[in-house]
């Protein structure tokens, strides 16, 4: 009679590895032994008590070497913090095994088992961001600012659309105004709220509401900009001092590096993370590299903005790109090479700053 996985004697197991498939309300966990054989699976609530039960359950099978968790930035963020606080080694499981999924299908238990196998072998895993420091705070504020800017843009588009279809006397009054003159004029209107059934009154009410929304979102974005600027000035003053690096691009590069940049083993690793490392595209006698379409595309965009800024304002960068083009590369290939050098420059600035912060913390602890 085959042995039930849930009745395995934990005393016979020297070391185990776990995997977790994360969801909003429930997490599914799986355990594999030192030979990568499945021992058991179980489901736990996404609460602090559930995290404690999960850890106790995992430790009951033996010494827990590491845990592979999916989606550590979203559904698995709470579990990641709990395990890191408990001193457990955590790996983030990235892309699913597509071949295995096509062959076996998909459900939460299979995903947890695949996460455990990935953590055991080290395949499809990366060191997760710790998400417990100032850079996580920066990420939250930057995300909030991005949504405020997006909502403000939508409000402005709706104002312009409503003006196009408004009654003639309203359209003629508003169409020649500048943007801020238009917004402040609409926000100062005092339409008759009791006459909403009238088309002209309805347009006045809607335009006033949209204008006030635009101004409120502008003030919100300005407040968030001040908070973001304060964090970046504290975290990386040397980074923001470099040519063509503004607060928006600096924030994105810091977020990509994370609160625990020691997870980046080298500047080449940071370049790959930003999607600017050269990818071989050689065939036969043709030896060349192409653009990297992987990595963090937001970080790649930030480096591209810096590269274009330097290409316009810095003579040394102009000479470098012209030399690359003269050697037979396209302008895009030359910019790709430039972004690779920028990634190296940014990496060393961030690393130097983090070493200074670590030394300061050590001195304070002593």
**pLDDT, tens digit, 9 for 90 and up, residues 132-178:** 788 999 999 999 999 999 999 999 999 999 999 999 999 999 988 99
Closest to 322 measured CA to CA, from 304, 305, 335: 335
Distances (CA, A) of 280 to 264, 276, 333: 22, 12, 13
Mean pLDDT for the chain overall: 89
Measure the CA–CA gap between 154 and 157, rounded to whole angstroms.
5
Closest to 347 measured CA to CA, from 290, 272, 280: 272
Closest to 130 measured CA to CA, from 299, 258, 235, 274: 258
Residue 360, pLDDT above cutoff 90? no
Pick from 121-125, 166-170, 250-254: least confident: 121-125
pTM comes to 0.82
Q: So what's the pLDDT on residue 362? A: 72
Cα four-point dihedral sign 117, 119, 123, 126: positive
Q: Residue range 311-337: average pLDDT?
A: 92
Q: Residue range 187-196: average pLDDT?
A: 90
Q: So what's the pLDDT on residue 239? A: 94
Measure the CA–CA gap between 257 and 132, rounded to whole angstroms.
14
Residue 1, pLDDT above cutoff 60? no
Residue 331, pLDDT above cutoff 80? yes
Q: So what's the pLDDT on residue 285? A: 80
Q: So what's the pLDDT on residue 9? A: 52
Q: Is the Cβ–Cβ distance between 101 and 125 less than 8 Å?
A: no
Q: So what's the pLDDT on residue 113? A: 92
- Main-chain dihedrals φ then ψ at residue 101, nearest 5 degrees: -65, -40
Q: Residue range 203-221: average pLDDT?
A: 96
Q: Residue range 194-199: average pLDDT?
A: 88
Q: Residue range 202-216: average pLDDT?
A: 96
Q: So what's the pLDDT on residue 282? A: 82
Q: Where are the alpha helices (DSSP H) in the chain?
A: 48-59, 77-85, 98-104, 108-121, 134-165, 168-174, 179-187, 199-235, 237-240, 247-257, 267-273, 297-313, 315-326, 331-365
User: Burial letters for 226-259: b for 16+ Cβ neighbours within 10 Å, e otherwise?
Assistant: eebeebbeebbeebbeeebbebebbbbbbbbbbb
Residue 366, pLDDT above cutoff 70? no
**Cα within 13 Å of Cα(362), Cβ side:** 6
Q: So what's the pLDDT on residue 196? A: 83
Pick from 180-184, 255-259, 262-266: least confident: 262-266
Q: If you search the block for the tokens 């928006």, which residue do you land on?
A: 248
Measure the CA–CA gap between 188 and 181, rounded to whole angstroms.
11
Partnered with residue 63 across adjacent β-strands are: 15
Residue 6, pLDDT above cutoff 60? no
Q: So what's the pLDDT on residue 2? A: 43
Q: Is the Cβ–Cβ distance between 199 and 167 less than 8 Å?
A: yes
Pick from 47-61, 123-137, 206-220, 334-348: least confident: 123-137
Burial of 330 (0-12, 13-18, 19+ CB in 10 A): exposed
- For 8-39, how does the pLDDT look when each residue is reduced to its tens digit (9 = 90+)? 454 454 799 999 999 999 999 999 999 999 99
């Amino acid at each position: 009679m085959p042995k039930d996985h849930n009745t395995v004697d934990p005393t016979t197991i020297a070391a185990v590895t776990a995997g977790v498939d994360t969801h909003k309300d429930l997490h599914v966990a799986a355990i594999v032994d030192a030979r990568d054989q499945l021992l058991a699976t179980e489901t736990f609530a996404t609460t602090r008590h559930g995290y404690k039960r999960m850890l106790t359950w995992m430790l009951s099978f033996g010494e827990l070497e590491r845990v592979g968790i999916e989606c550590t930035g979203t559904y698995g963020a709470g579990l990641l913090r709990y395990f890191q606080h408990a001193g457990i080694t955590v790996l983030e499981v990235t892309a699913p095994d597509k071949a295995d999924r096509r062959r076996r299908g998909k459900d939460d238990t299979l995903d947890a088992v695949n996460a455990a196998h990935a953590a055991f072998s080290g395949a499809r895993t990366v060191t997760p961001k710790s998400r417990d420091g100032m850079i996580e705070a920066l990420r939250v504020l930057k995300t909030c600012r991005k949504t405020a800017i997006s909502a403000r843009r939508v409000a402005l588009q709706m104002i312009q659309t409503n003006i196009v279809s408004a009654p003639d006397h309203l359209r003629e009054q508003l169409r020649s105004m500048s943007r801020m003159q238009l917004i402040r004029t609409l926000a100062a209107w005092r339409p008759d709220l009791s006459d909403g059934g009238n088309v002209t009154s309805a347009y006045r009410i809607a335009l006033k509401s949209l204008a006030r929304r635009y101004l409120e979102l502008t003030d919100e974005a300005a407040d968030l900009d001040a908070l973001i600027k304060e964090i970046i000035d504290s975290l990386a003053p040397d980074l923001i001092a470099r040519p063509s690096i503004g607060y928006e691009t600096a924030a994105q590069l810091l977020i990509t590096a994370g609160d625990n940049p020691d997870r980046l083993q080298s500047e080449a690793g940071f370049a790959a993370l930003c999607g600017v490392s050269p990818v071989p595209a050689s065939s036969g006698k043709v030896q060349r590299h192409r653009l990297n379409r992987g990595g963090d595309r937001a970080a790649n965009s930030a480096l591209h903005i810096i590269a274009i800024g330097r290409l316009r304002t810095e003579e040394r960068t102009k000479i470098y790109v012209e030399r690359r083009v003269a050697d037979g590369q396209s302008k895009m290939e030359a910019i790709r090479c430039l972004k690779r050098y920028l990634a190296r420059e940014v990496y060393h600035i961030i690393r130097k700053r983090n070493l200074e912060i670590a030394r300061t913390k050590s001195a304070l602890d002593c």
